[in-house]
């Protein structure tokens, strides 16, 4: 993939920056890596994986073949990529245990380690009617993992802001939200958001669990507000409601699907077990 990308870049006459991006996009298709965080390729990795899985099934349907021991063979996927393996896990509980049922939902459009900070900031904002100009400083105490993953203090653009716990705290306080629209170039460069972001400080505490946080807001009038979040919204301990899930879908679909189409999509998803054809969900989500 790298050789092909390099050759194609040369033939197309790409400049240095374009060639660098071509090699990066090639890397994103070879494997998922955290190096892609804050770029378009971060989301592309997952979409491409799903696309390749679909292609695999369609090719197999048409008689295309592969090794029958591609996973467990001596030179197969598991042995090549993992020094230790427990292949029995692959079929344990097959047909009765579904890992997807252990998944939780993410209400916010950023790394989950920033979610407890967002929860705390939104709750304090709503409970006290906070406005950005009334805030002197915001102190975050988080697990070290949160700073490792989302420690960008001054994100240069919307994509990078998804990896900034400082930006997440600022938009949560200014907008009372942390959806896709809070992680755009416009919100990164908004004077109010930028000014508040510069008043956010964060420190790590290894004693905190990964998805917990303590937020302390000091107001210009001297008041100090504190919120400690241990069970983030969307976790198994504090799940999103059906209304929360529908609101997230509507937020993601806004500007992409008309409102009536979004409602039809939501209805189809809730009724998926009753549908005669699961493709009805895909049709409801189609742009045309």
pTM, full prediction: 0.86
Do the beta carbons of residue 162 and residue 177 sit within 8 Å? no
Q: Tokens 């994100």 correspond to what residue?
A: 155
Q: Which residues contact 33 (CB under 8 A, 6 or more apart)?
A: 27
The predicted pLDDT at position 60 comes to 95
**CB-based contacts of 106: which residues, under 8 Å, 6+ apart?**
112, 115, 234
- pLDDT means over runs of 10, the chain (288 residues): 95 96 92 88 92 94 94 93 92 91 90 96 97 97 96 95 97 96 96 98 95 97 97 91 94 92 95 93 88
Residue 75, pLDDT score? 95
* Interatomic CA distance for residues 123 and 248, integer angstroms: 18
Alpha-carbon distance of 119 to 227, in angstroms, equals 9
Closest CA to 150 of 225, 218, 217, 213: 213
* Alpha-carbon gap, residue 207 to 120, rounded angstroms: 18
**Which tokens hold the place of 140?**
């975050």
Residues contacting residue 150 through CB under 8 Å, at least 6 positions apart? 110, 111, 113, 114, 163, 164, 165, 168
pLDDT of res. 179? 94
Report helix, strand or coil for 264. Answer: helix
Helix axes 16-30, 2-12, angle to 10 degrees: 150
Give pLDDT, residue 103.
85
Position 79 scores a pLDDT of 93
């Amino acid at each position: 993939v790298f050789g092909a990308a390099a050759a194609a870049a040369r033939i197309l006459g790409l400049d240095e920056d374009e060639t660098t991006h071509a090699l990066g996009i090639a890397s994103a298709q070879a494997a998922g890596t955290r190096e892609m965080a804050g770029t378009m390729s971060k989301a592309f990795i997952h979409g491409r994986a799903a696309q390749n899985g679909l292609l695999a099934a369609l090719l197999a349907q048409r008689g295309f073949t592969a090794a029958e021991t591609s996973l467990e063979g001596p030179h197969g996927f598991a042995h090549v990529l993992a020094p230790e393996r427990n292949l029995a896990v692959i079929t344990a509980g097959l047909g009765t245990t579904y890992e997807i049922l252990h998944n939780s939902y993410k209400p916010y459009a950023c790394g989950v380690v920033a979610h407890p900070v967002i929860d705390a900031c939104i709750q304090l904002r709503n409970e006290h009617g906070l406005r950005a100009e009334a805030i002197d400083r915001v102190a975050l105490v988080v697990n070290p993992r949160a700073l490792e993953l989302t420690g960008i203090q001054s994100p240069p653009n919307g994509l990078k802001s998804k990896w900034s716990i400082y930006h997440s705290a600022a938009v949560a306080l200014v907008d009372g939200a942390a959806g896709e629209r809070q992680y755009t170039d416009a919100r990164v460069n908004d004077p109010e958001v930028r000014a508040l972001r510069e008043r956010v400080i964060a420190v790590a505490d290894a004693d905190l669990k990964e998805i917990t946080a303590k937020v302390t807001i000091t107001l210009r009038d001297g008041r100090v507000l504190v919120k400690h979040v241990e069970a983030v919204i969307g976790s198994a301990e504090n799940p999103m409601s059906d209304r929360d899930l529908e609101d997230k879908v509507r937020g993601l679909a806004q500007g992409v699907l008309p409102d009536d189409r979004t409602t039809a999509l939501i209805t189809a998803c809730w009724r998926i077990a009753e549908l005669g054809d699961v493709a009805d969900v895909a049709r409801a989500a189609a742009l045309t």
